[in-house]
Each structure stands twice: as structure tokens, then as C-alpha cells.
Structure 1
Amino acid sequence: MVKVAGTHEEVQVVSGATCREVLSQALSGKKLKEVVACKCNEGLYDLKSAVDEECDSVEPVFLSSPEGLKVLRHSAAHIMAEAVKSLFPTAKVTIGPDIENGYYYDFDFERSFTPEDLEKIEAKMTESVAQNLPFERIVVSKDEAKKMFLGMNETYKLEIIDDLDEDTVSIYKHGDFVDLCRGPHLPDTGYLKAFKLTSVAGAYWRGDEKRPMLQRIYGTAFATPKDLKKHLAQLEEARKRDHRKLGTQLDLFSFSEEAGPGMPIFHPKGALVRTILEDFERKEHLRRGYQIVQGPQILRRELWEKSGHYDNYRENMYFTDIEEHSYGIKPMNCLSHMLIYKSRLRSYRDLPLRYFELGRVHRHEKSGVLHGLLRVREFTQDDAHILCRPDQLQGEIVSIVKFVQDIMALFEFDYEVEISTRPEKSIGSDADWDRATTALTNALQSIGLDYSVNPGDGAFYGPKIDVKLKDALGRKWQCATVQCDFTLPERFDLSYTGEDGNRHRPVMLHRVILGAIERFLGVLIEHYAGAFPVWLAPVQARILNITDVQKEYVEKCCKTLKDQGIRVDMDIRNEKLGYKVREAQIEKVPYILVAGEKEISASGLNVRVRGGKNLGLKSLPDVIELIYDEMDEPFKKGGMSYRYLY
């Protein structure tokens, strides 16, 4: 007898019974039709798979569930590859996994796929779906598989097979299309009711820029047309919010091939926004007991060898030679901070020491993954390193997490938290890793913060808490992190004199709050669709005249607002008022202030807010108060005040 998870049923299983046969004894009608796979002993299987004798329960996997969508999207990738091979027989197939909200497949083809090609591929996929072609799983030896794919001239599949440790491999077939795959897959192609091909991009084979450049076709698929329509609308909104497009429109930043890929150039308005953000961060860190420090951009290679970066991170670093010595351009700020700690003897009374640096770093990112401000080669981190006693560790972690929570509230971000554990490539003892992981876990539990575990994704020197913020469209972004490190203090022989007079080893916390300033700005631009909150807007108000008669009054008002610390400019061009208002709205200026004869007579300004609402005539002091009140509003959640900070 086997239990059917999610029901109260316990069913009889005969030898060789498939998952579908077992589930059909407990489910029927529409519910049974929505099942696309099954789970048994935590494994995910096709419905045609035989139920293992050791299986205590069989769990149905419904199409609309997260696991069901993974099966749907991976199957969609196969159906797409079938369509490509049918239309373009000389294209070679490589890999086609499901990803968040979709799937992709990489192809080696002699020319670039066009938007017209995508339409043809979609149409061919629709034909396959209409035929309800069953997915069949076949298990063969590696040699048989190699002969099969060699006969099809699918050389990439041969390389994948050679890398497999198993003696046998599984192959999936639907119609005339055959692919190397672990599965599972949909029962048949007819389950793919709602799909769309979205884009084409370049991708190196296995992510290696020395290997062939492939074409990656992206698609998305959902359980229902309604869900697909909602997702496509969200994609369209994301395109409107694209920080690269808005960065140009708002004149914030640019990239230049002459300067080099991944190197952002900030224009006056963009540089002003990041300066406001950085000034806020400096004040907040000082308020929370941090000391501002600054280290050099390059350090001797021997120092990077000592820290373990050279062995574990050098493929992400840049190196240069000076007077026959090799130097590493810093990808992180921790080494300088440890040297500051070592510059004098430390007592237990000195701890914790919190060193903060807005440190510019460089990391070698492959050109294929560069993406506007979100993935660059040069960026500034709001980096801090806290050196503390072991008994202070949990309190310091809690303080960092609460700092992050305050910042998330300021920018109106929801967020998720996860703990990333020891990766395969790492340094340090098991005992230290266990102590560090326990400290992070206990800190989160002490404040009742839910978290998930991300196995094997910690830093090479310690586990970490990662905070993934959610923007206005529900997309997740990795920004804040807290890394607990017992290993580098050991390698650099950091110590303090304890209350007992003996030498003791401090613990080091590596942490960022916003992360990379450039990346965070990119996220902010898309989160707010370029309409920065008033306190962060490069231009908070713009004063417009109606005729030349008001020019002198506009200049006077502009000076008054500037003297009060408001970032204001004026537009006194000989243009129609409607044109100037629309231009200010396109530039997303929060307050549009208009001066005409009536406003001069009343010593005030007509106030229009960014959303289009007209607040009418207000005195100059009231305008100033209105702007400052809106600047203050987001800070109140954290018990702060913009006026206090500035």
C-alpha cells in the first residue's frame, strides 16, 4: 500500500505500476488532468515512471505548482529545440534548462536569429503542441548515446556525455526530436498551452569566453494563458523601467566602448544622486558607531596570496606589475581594514571596531554577463568590516540586520533572507565554519526573522546572510550581505589582549548594506521608474515663467529655495508653458513651480506635483515646507529625519 500525499487515500500498488496508475486511484477528473509529474522519496519523476518498491508515498505534482512549472518550462525548451531543428536543420543543440519564469536553449547556428525567425519557431511549436506528442524516456549506455548523437552531428552532446560519471544516460524523445536529458517531462506536448518566445542573446558555450559564441533563445511558459498575459504585461512594464533607457532619458549615466565595457560614466545628475546616497550612508554609519577609513586601490600580490584570494578568487581579479613587483587591484576592501587593525595593539575594551569604507573595487566580469549598472567591472561598495570578540558576535550581526531592515523600509523594499553555507572551494576549518554558521542562524532566530538555506553558496572564507530585496515589480535583487569570518583573522594573526591578559583572536564580519552603489542605483531607477523620492531626486523643483515679465521674479525665487538647501533649477526659455511643463514631467521633476502675474502679486508660486495634481497657489515659505515635509516622510519609519541628517 502507498499513501497519496495531499489526500487521505492509501492505494494498492501492483508491481510495475506507474505513477499515473497509482494517482488515478486517488484523483480523477480535472484534478488528475492537471498532474504533470510525481514525487516519490523527494525524487521527481515522469508520470510513466514505475513506482519504486521503497516508495512510501506518491505526491502529485500539479501543473501550476512551482515544481510543475519547472517541468512545463523544461519541456517547453525541448519543444522549442524541436522547432528550431525542424526549421534550421544545420543548427546544433547544446543545453536548454528551465529558469525563473521561463526557459532558454542555446544553439550553434551560422547566422543570427531574427525576430521573424522567432515568430516561425513559435508557430512550429504551436504545431507540435496541437499534435499532443508524448514524451518518451529511453535509458541507453553512454556508448549507444554517443553513437546516436554522433550520427546526428550533435557534437556538443558528445562533450556533455563524456563529462557524465554514470554508465547509462537518459534520452527523451517526442515526435522525431531526440535530446539528452535527465527529465522529468510533461506527459505530452499538448500540456503547453501558454508560452511565448521573448528574446535572443549571445552566450559562450559553458560560459567560457574562449569557447564558441552560441545564440540563446529565451522563452516563458505558464500554466494558463491568464498567467502568461500577466507575466508579459510585467515584462512590458520592466522594459519601460529599464534603467539603461531611463539613464539616457534622465541624463544620469552612460557607457562608452572607448572607455571599455562595464565601466559606467556618471553625468552630473547621476553623480549628484549617488553623492546624495553616499553622503546619507556616511552620516548613517557614523550615527551607528562606525569609523570611516580608506585603503589603497592596489596591494602586493603576496597579501592576496596570504588572504586566500589569489588561490580562490584570482580569475576575478586584475593584476599589474610595478618595479618588478606584482600587485592586485582590489576586488574587496577587507585586506586594508585588517592592516588598520594590525597597526597597533588592541585590547578587549577597544572592541568592537567597525571600519566603513565606500571603496571602489574592480572585478573581472565576462563581457557576456555585463548589464548596464547591474553588472559592471568597476563599482563602489558600501563596505564595512567589524572586528569583535566572540561574545559580541551575535549582537553585532543583529545590529547589521536591523540596519538593513531600516534601509529596506526607507526605500520601500520587501525582502527575503537566506543563509548561504560552505562552498566546495573554501578555506578554514570545519569547526570555524560551524561556529560562523551557528552565529548567523542564532542572530536571525533571536529577532524572529524567517530565512531559507542556500547550500554551498557562501564566500570562500565564511558563510553569509544574503538579503534579497523585491522591487515594485516583485523582482528579486541581491544587495545586502553579512559574512562571518573566523579564518582571515587567523591568517593575518589578528589579536587583542583579553581581560585575562592573554592574546585572543577576534572574529571579523564582512558586510554591505546597499552593496554596489552602481547596482543599487540601477535597481532604484527601475523600482521608482526613474521618479526618485524627493530627498534623492537630483532636481527637486523647477520654476517656470509664463512670459519674460516674470524672469526676474523666477530668479529671485530660485535663489531663495537654493538658500534653503532645495535642489532647484529654472526654465525661463521663450517657450510655451505647456511645453516646459511636459519637459519637466518627462524628466520626472517632483515639483513644477509656475510664476505668472497672479503669483507675483501674491509673492508665491503655483505648485504642480509630479503625478499631475495641481496644488494651486502657495506662498514661498509654504512651498519650502511642503518640499521638506515630503523629504522627511520616508525617514520617519526608521525614526530618522532628513532635516536632522542634512
Structure 2
Amino acid sequence: MSDATIQITLPDGSTRDVPRGTTPFQIAQSISPRLAEAVVVAKIRSAAATTEGAEEQTDAAHGGAQTEEAMYSDVATAERVVDLAEPLQESVHLWLLKETDPEALRVVRHSAAHVMATAITELFPEVKLGHGPATDHGFFYDILREKPFTPEDLIAIEARMAEVVARNEPFRHEWIGHEEALKGYEEQGDFMKVHFVSKFTKPGENVSFYRNGEFLDFCRGPHVPTTGRVRAFKVMNLAGAYWLGDEKNPQLQRLYGTAFFQKKELDAHFKHLEEIKARDHRVIGKQLDLFSIQEIAGAGLIFWHPKGAIIRKEMEDWMRAECLRRGYDLVVTPHVMRRELWKISGHEGFYGDNMYSPMELDDAEYRLKPMNCPGHILIYKNSPKSYRDLPVRYAELGNVYRYERSGTMHGLLRVRGFTQDDAHIFCTPGQIEDEIVACVEFAEEVLKKFGFAEFKVELSTWDASKPQDYTGAPEDWQVAIDSLKSALGRKGIPYREIPGEAAFYGPKIDVKLVDVLGRLWQLSTVQFDFNLPKRFELEYTGEDGEKHQPVMVHRALFGSVERFFGVLIEHYAGAFPLWLAPVQVGLVPISEKHLDYAAEVKAELEAAGLRVELDARNEKMNAKIREFGLQKVPFVLVMGDKESAAKAVSVRTRGVGDQGSVPLSEFVARAAGLLQEKSATL
């Protein structure tokens, strides 16, 4: 093969020798004209790269595509998605992606963002553009404009987008010199693009731009071949966003949209959004009177109402009992501690912006705790430990406080004060892997018990190029990462590695549950920590009689009680399993003469451990049944003459309906069994 020729390896293992500079589209044409029509974008991997290395780097490159760094930085990845018109300069493995490929969907959404920006600049020439990335569910563009956009403006933007699509303008990749690019944006007064070009490109190099028609934007791509491939789209809503996420900077208007290849996919997406809206935990929480956020008390602070508090009690009781069963000791630590403690732990330096300001008391400055770990460390350190004592496992459902920026709070899912089901395990290096495996198994049991059948796992590691963001030596980090990988390997759990997402003190395993609507939720986490034991000079006496330093595992399985509860509400749409339901059985006497029997039924059910509500109002039977239905009570029992005489109840089961009359003793046995099993189904 000559220097003018490169080798293309296709997914079936076949190879083609083509001239250097051949494009993926030309290769598609050579295979089949029909394929050339269907292909949207290409993915390439350097022939010199190993499969393992490519997978790791691809995850790093595509995992956070909505960030500035992922959009603009020139990340050296072995595997990447490219335009069909990209001239290939080296031998590569090549995949020709069609509309059915997930990576192609992200590309069409990125292209739709450019179509939206084209429409906006044509309708409102005075605007300045921030960045416009694809996201997991669509795209957005940040816009600087003095006058707020109106609902009518959004309609006009969407209509103009349709015109841009109809023009079928090619997306062309262009290169402009660094100095020329900066000068152009400076003359336009677009400080945002000046920032991006300055931050993500270097003097003397060419800067990547994409053009469609008259619209030109700083962008690394890739894009679909033409605007005409952006066929199914919708401008959705508008929100505020500070430039660079800093509330001291100018406020931008963020326009959100979504795009798909086919209208039927767009329609399905909006149906899915309606389902999500119907399950909004904030709405259901108010309907079922579970919790509230009181403006006079402050944003991000949760008030648990009686029914919500009952569910919380069930969650916490199960968690504490399970911790004890698994060999944990329960502890409780203070809500505030001296500032000096947080300096020793490193939180003052690495996490200070997320902590509340210090408060000055008589003897020192104190800070509200954002974490429970230093408190558990002090308990460990309070008495000498031998290798025979290890592992030591401390668990606490502890209240912690973190400063969330204004506008970032979201019901129970993003709060300023919450209860973390925290545990810290102190062990020998030889015990660490078994402890991590046990934590992962515990996380699996939590998800199973609360009705989640599916989960995904991510391994967050450090970014070795930014040692200032972490504490600890590189060799310690490698040992920690290898331990987590080995534990996941023993469990046979597939995972995705994400560099740069570790905690400042060590790598972590994040378990993301999948809810009934297919949404991912970050809740459970298991973290390796070799730093805090060193910072606090922890030790134990080894079998050799010498002093040794333990290693430490952080783990939280609910994540926070508040967030987990919010996810539960949305997963079940408020129709909780029997064991969690605040009212488990509703009693409906048909008339006043049946009240005495209803009271007997109530007493028998309560003796079996069930939470029962008797509706003794002088209302019609159907109205009472309907009210219990609105409150999503699992069982409603109706009692009239026949039931009173036969010591029976007429059973209505949530989601099933009327199941007829059964002996009271039979129903009690059934309900008590479900309660004992903590079954997720009725």
C-alpha cells in the first residue's frame, strides 16, 4: 500500500484500499447508492488504536457532550464521530451510521441547534450567541438579547426553522485563522464567542467553523449533510441562564428544543413528556399531602407532612435494620462542627463553595456539615483499633447541608438540607475489595426492594492532568481505581468509565437506577478513600504489632432520603407498594348502621400491623370510594349488611377494581403477608 493509499476496515471485517482524502460518503457510494442515501454520519477509529483504549476514550469524549469542554476542546480520542464529507487521512475502522444509531441522533440535534441559531439571527440580527449543544433529550442555544423573547417569538423561530430546513443548505466545514476568528468576533462585540475561541484554540492554528447558507458558527461538529435532514423538531421553552453559570455575569436567554429524524419519534417523545409531567413528584406530593417547601423558611428545605413522614419512617426503618443485619453499627453525629475539622478533611479547600458560610460562636468558627464522613472518622479515632476489630462499619441517616445556587433547586430532587444514608467502612487493604463488593450487593438489594428492576453503573476516575483538583499521590489513585474495577469484575457488572468525575479524595462507583419511564437517576454511590485516613492519621495495630493506616469506603445507597423519595413518587406515580403506602386500607361503611362492624374490621387490621383509615362521614358510598382512589390507597374495603352478617369485606384493589366479597380473616392474612414480604406488587 503506497503513501497515497489508506486502508478502510468495515464492521464486517472486510477492508478497502482507497486514496488518502477519500470521504465516508464516497465509501458509502462505492458500497451501495441506497446506503449512501440512508447514511447520516460516520464513526472512525484509528487502525492503530486498541479496542479497549478506544472504548475508554469514546466514553470520555461523548459522555458529557453538553459541556463547553466536550463541545470545543480538541480532545484526542481514538474513536470519534465525523461528517460524511470528512477527508480520511489515515487507515481507520469505519462505521457508517444511519438514523437508527443513537450517535446519529445526537448529531441531528446538534445540527438542529444550528438551524435554530440560523433562524434566530435572521429574525433578530441584534442577538449574540453563546453555545448551542445537543443534550440527552434535545438541544439548546444561549442567547444574549436585551428584550425578552415572547411566546410569539418562539412560534416565529420555529416557523423560520422550517424555512431553513426547506432550503436544504449544506453544512460545510470551514477553517479560519485564529487571529482572524478572534478579530471577527471582537468586531461583532460577541464576547462569548471570543471567550470560546480564546479558551479552546491556540494562536497560530486554524479554528473550526461550520457554515450553512449565510450562518457561520464556531463549532467542531460533526453535522448531518444538510439542513434538510433536520425534519422533525420543536422549539419547546425558554429559561434563564447566567453566562458561564456565574450569577455575577450577564443573564442569557436559553432556548430549548428537541429534534428527531421522524415525526413519529417526535410525537412519541412528547407523549413521554406528558407521562413525566403526570408523574411530577411536586404535583403528586401536593395532591397526596406528602411534603411541602415553605417560602418563609427558605428554598430547598423540606417539610415532611404526616403521610410523607410515614413513608420516610418505613424507608429509614428498613435501611437501619438492613445495616444492622449486614454488620454495621449505627452512629449519630452533630450538625455543626468546628471549621478546623473541615480544613483537616480538605472540604474547606476542595468543597468550600458548596458549604454554608462559617458561623462564629464563643470558642471558634463552626460550619454546617455537608458530609458525615469527618464525624465518623472522629468516632473511629476515639479508641484504639486492632486488625481484629476491622472492618469497622459506621452507618448514619444524618442531616447535611449544602449550598445550592438560587434557581437550581427542584422539589425533593435538588435541595439545600437533606438526610444522607451515609456509611463509612474502615478496613485493611486486604479487605477493601470484599467490602466494595458487599456495598454493591447492598445497593442492588436496595433497588430490588423498592421496585427497581434495572440499573446502570459508572466508574468515575480522576483526571491525572488536573492534579490540583484532587488530593493524593498518583500511585494511590491507581490502586483505588484498580480495586473498584476488580470488585465490579467479580460481580460481572458492566460499567462505563468516566475520567474526571471522581470525588476529590478518591474514585467512585455510581449506580444509576432506571425508573418505569426509562429515566436514569443517580442515587447510590460507593467511593474508595485513601486520603482522609492519611489526613486524620488513622491507624490500627496489625498482626505484626505495628501501626498501620486503614483504608476507607464511603457509601450512600438512597443517596439522600429526599431525592430517593422524589424518585419513588415519580416511579410509582404516588401509587406506592402496600408496605410504603401511608394509608394501606380504606374502610367504607355503606351506612351509619355499619359503623360498628367497620370499627371491628379496623381494629383487626391494625392488630395485624396495617395502617387503616375509616371514612365515617355521612357521604355516599361511591364518593368515599372515589376519595380513597384519589389518595391511591392500595385496598378499599366496603361493608354492608351482607358483609356484616358474614364477617366479610368487599375488596377493591388499586389498579384492579372490585374483587368481590371475601372473609375478613382471608383478607387480613393476604394483606399481612404482602406487608411482611414488603412486596412491590399487590
TM-score range, shorter chain: over 0.9
Q: Which of 261, 280, 287 in structure 2 is aligned with 1:242?
A: 280
Q: CA deviation at 1:455?
A: 1.1
Match of 1:130, SS? helix
| Equivalent position of 2:257 in the other structure | 219
Q: CA deviation at 1:146?
A: 2.7
| Equivalent position of 1:630 in the other structure | 674
Q: What is the correspondence of 1:160-239 to structure 2 with a 5 Å cutoff?
A: 160-167=196-203, 168-239=206-277
Q: Quick one: distance in 2 between partners of 1:636 and 1:114?
A: 46
Q: Which of 150, 157, 173 in structure 1 is aligned with 2:193?
A: 157
Q: Quick one: distance in 1 between partners of 2:20 and 2:525?
A: 51
Q: Map Cα deviations across residues 392-436 of structure 1 (whole Å, 9 max, x no partner).
A: 111111111111111221123210112111243110111211111
Q: Quick one: distance in 2 between partners of 1:198 and 1:525?
A: 25
Q: Quick one: distance in 2 between partners of 1:173 and 1:517?
A: 49
8 Å CA contact 1:418, 1:452 repeated in 2: yes
Q: Which of 67, 76, 85 in structure 2 is aligned with 1:48?
A: 85
Q: Map Cα deviations across residues 452-482 of structure 1 (whole Å, 9 max, x no partner).
A: 2111211110111110110001110111111
More deviation in 198-207 or 626-635?
Answer: 626-635
| Equivalent position of 1:343 in the other structure | 382
| Equivalent position of 1:113 in the other structure | 149
| Equivalent position of 2:440 in the other structure | 401
More deviation in 343-352 or 253-262?
Answer: 253-262
Q: CA deviation at 1:386?
A: 0.5
Q: CA deviation at 1:341?
A: 0.6
Q: Quick one: distance in 2 between partners of 1:7 and 1:352?
A: 51
Q: Map Cα deviations across residues 526-578 of structure 1 (whole Å, 9 max, x no partner).
A: 11111110000011011112222222332332233223221111112222222
Q: What is the correspondence of 1:233-272 to structure 2 with a 5 Å cutoff?
A: 233-272=271-310
| Equivalent position of 1:420 in the other structure | 460
Q: Quick one: distance in 2 between partners of 1:119 and 1:578?
A: 45
Match of 1:98, SS? coil
| Equivalent position of 2:399 in the other structure | 360
| Equivalent position of 2:556 in the other structure | 512
Q: Quick one: distance in 2 between partners of 1:9 and 1:464?
A: 40
Q: Does 1:487 align with 2:531?
A: yes
| Counterpart amino acid of residue 72 in structure 1 | V
Q: Quick one: distance in 2 between partners of 1:636 and 1:276?
A: 14
Q: Which of 67, 86, 109 in structure 2 is aligned with 1:73?
A: 109
| Equivalent position of 2:171 in the other structure | 135
More deviation in 125-134 or 82-91?
Answer: 82-91
| Counterpart amino acid of residue 40 in structure 2 | V
| Equivalent position of 1:580 in the other structure | 624
Distance 1:235 1:571, change over 3 A: same
Q: What is the correspondence of 1:530-541 to structure 2 with a 5 Å cutoff?
A: 530-541=574-585
More deviation in 575-584 or 114-123?
Answer: 114-123
8 Å CA contact 1:543, 1:592 repeated in 2: yes
More deviation in 136-145 or 17-26?
Answer: 17-26
| Equivalent position of 1:315 in the other structure | 353
Q: Which of 1, 10, 17 in structure 2 is aligned with 1:5?
A: 10
8 Å CA contact 1:203, 1:368 repeated in 2: no
Q: What is the correspondence of 1:285-296 to structure 2 with a 5 Å cutoff?
A: 285-296=323-334
Q: Quick one: distance in 2 between partners of 1:166 and 1:632?
A: 65
Q: CA deviation at 1:443?
A: 1.2
| Counterpart amino acid of residue 502 in structure 1 | E
8 Å CA contact 2:238, 2:256 repeated in 1: yes
Q: Map Cα deviations across residues 337-362 of structure 1 (whole Å, 9 max, x no partner).
A: 01001101111111111100001101
More deviation in 444-453 or 218-227?
Answer: 218-227
More deviation in 284-293 or 107-116?
Answer: 107-116
Distance 1:29 1:636, change over 3 A: closer
Q: Map Cα deviations across residues 499-540 of structure 1 (whole Å, 9 max, x no partner).
A: 111111111100011111100001111111111100000110
Q: Quick one: distance in 1 between partners of 2:367 and 2:456?
A: 34
8 Å CA contact 1:37, 1:185 repeated in 2: no
Q: Quick one: distance in 1 between partners of 2:622 and 2:123?
A: 53
Q: CA deviation at 1:324?
A: 5.8
Q: CA deviation at 1:612?
A: 3.9
Q: Which of 333, 338, 352 in structure 1 is aligned with 2:372?
A: 333
Q: Quick one: distance in 2 between partners of 1:211 and 1:95?
A: 15
TM-score normalised by the chain length of structure 1: 0.95
Q: Quick one: distance in 1 between partners of 2:22 and 2:540?
A: 67
The 4+ residue runs of structure 1 with deviation greater than 4 A are 633-637
Q: CA deviation at 1:46?
A: 1.8
| Equivalent position of 1:382 in the other structure | 421
Q: Quick one: distance in 2 between partners of 1:190 and 1:358?
A: 55
| Counterpart amino acid of residue 387 in structure 2 | Y
Q: Quick one: distance in 2 between partners of 1:182 and 1:3?
A: 23
| Counterpart amino acid of residue 340 in structure 1 | I
| Equivalent position of 2:650 in the other structure | 606
8 Å CA contact 1:150, 1:158 repeated in 2: yes
Q: Quick one: distance in 2 between partners of 1:393 and 1:342?
A: 19
Q: Which of 137, 151, 164 in structure 2 is aligned with 1:101?
A: 137
Q: CA deviation at 1:625?
A: 1.4
Q: CA deviation at 1:32?
A: 4.0
More deviation in 560-569 or 291-300?
Answer: 560-569
Match of 2:94, SS? strand
TM-score normalised by the chain length of structure 2: 0.90
Q: CA deviation at 1:31?
A: 5.1
| Equivalent position of 2:56 in the other structure | none
Q: Quick one: distance in 1 between partners of 2:259 and 2:680?
A: 42
Match of 1:371, SS? coil
Distance 1:7 1:224, change over 3 A: farther
| Equivalent position of 1:29 in the other structure | 34
Q: CA deviation at 1:382?
A: 0.5
Q: Map Cα deviations across residues 93-120 of structure 1 (whole Å, 9 max, x no partner).
A: 2111111121111122334434443332
Q: Quick one: distance in 2 between partners of 1:402 and 1:456?
A: 25
8 Å CA contact 1:4, 1:23 repeated in 2: no
Q: Quick one: distance in 1 between partners of 2:601 and 2:10?
A: 71
| Counterpart amino acid of residue 519 in structure 2 | R
| Equivalent position of 1:278 in the other structure | 316
Distance 1:248 1:115, change over 3 A: farther
More deviation in 227-236 or 280-289?
Answer: 227-236
Aligned length, in residue pairs: 637
Q: CA deviation at 1:151?
A: 4.1
8 Å CA contact 1:301, 1:326 repeated in 2: yes
Where structure 1 has 5 or more consecutive residues not aligned to the other structure, the ranges are none
Distance 1:562 1:117, change over 3 A: farther
Q: Quick one: distance in 2 between partners of 1:412 and 1:634?
A: 10
| Equivalent position of 1:19 in the other structure | 24
8 Å CA contact 1:38, 1:47 repeated in 2: no
Q: Map Cα deviations across residues 165-220 of structure 1 (whole Å, 9 max, x no partner).
A: 42332221212222111111111101112222232222221111221222222222
8 Å CA contact 1:317, 1:363 repeated in 2: yes
Q: Quick one: distance in 2 between partners of 1:294 and 1:486?
A: 23
| Counterpart amino acid of residue 522 in structure 2 | Q
Match of 1:17, SS? coil
Match of 1:408, SS? helix
8 Å CA contact 1:37, 1:184 repeated in 2: no
Q: Quick one: distance in 1 between partners of 2:13 and 2:665?
A: 70
More deviation in 592-601 or 462-471?
Answer: 592-601
Q: Quick one: distance in 2 between partners of 1:266 and 1:372?
A: 12
Q: Map Cα deviations across residues 210-266 of structure 1 (whole Å, 9 max, x no partner).
A: 212222222222232232222221111111111111111111111122111111211
**RMSD (Å) for aligned C-alpha atoms:** 2.0
Distance 1:391 1:11, change over 3 A: closer
Q: CA deviation at 1:12?
A: 4.3
Where structure 2 has 5 or more consecutive residues not aligned to the other structure, the ranges are 1-5, 47-78
